[in-house]
Amino acid sequence: MVSLRMVALYHSKHFTSASQMAAYLGLVPKKRESGKHKGKAMLSKRGSSVIRAKLYMAAVVAKTWNPDINAHYRRLKARNKTEMQTIGAAMRRLVQICFGVLKHQCEYQAKITIAA
């Protein structure tokens, strides 16, 4: 279901980069500051909440089964990032993968392989 929505989104908005697509979906950090108060950076949550919800579940699964996302997840956990921060990063990574597949019209191949 995520793939159909990503294809439709890609073709309807004519994004030139994966960063633009991620920003449109609200997967970029937004600082919440005021004066001397330094708030936490959270996802901006712009764009379609339906696609974001589907990407969330896809990211939860991908952090276990996709070798690239799993390696990224482990790197972030080693840097003491929270679970939600790592899932947000996995969601953005999935958008980058989808954008690359759609732009280059080629099958996704993991850059990191899992030893058998």
What's the pLDDT tens digit per position in 48-58? 888 899 999 99
Question: Structure pTM?
Answer: 0.83
User: To 10 degrees, what angle do helices 49-65 and 83-104 make?
Assistant: 100
pLDDT, tens digit, for every residue of 22-49? 999 989 888 777 777 777 777 778 888 8
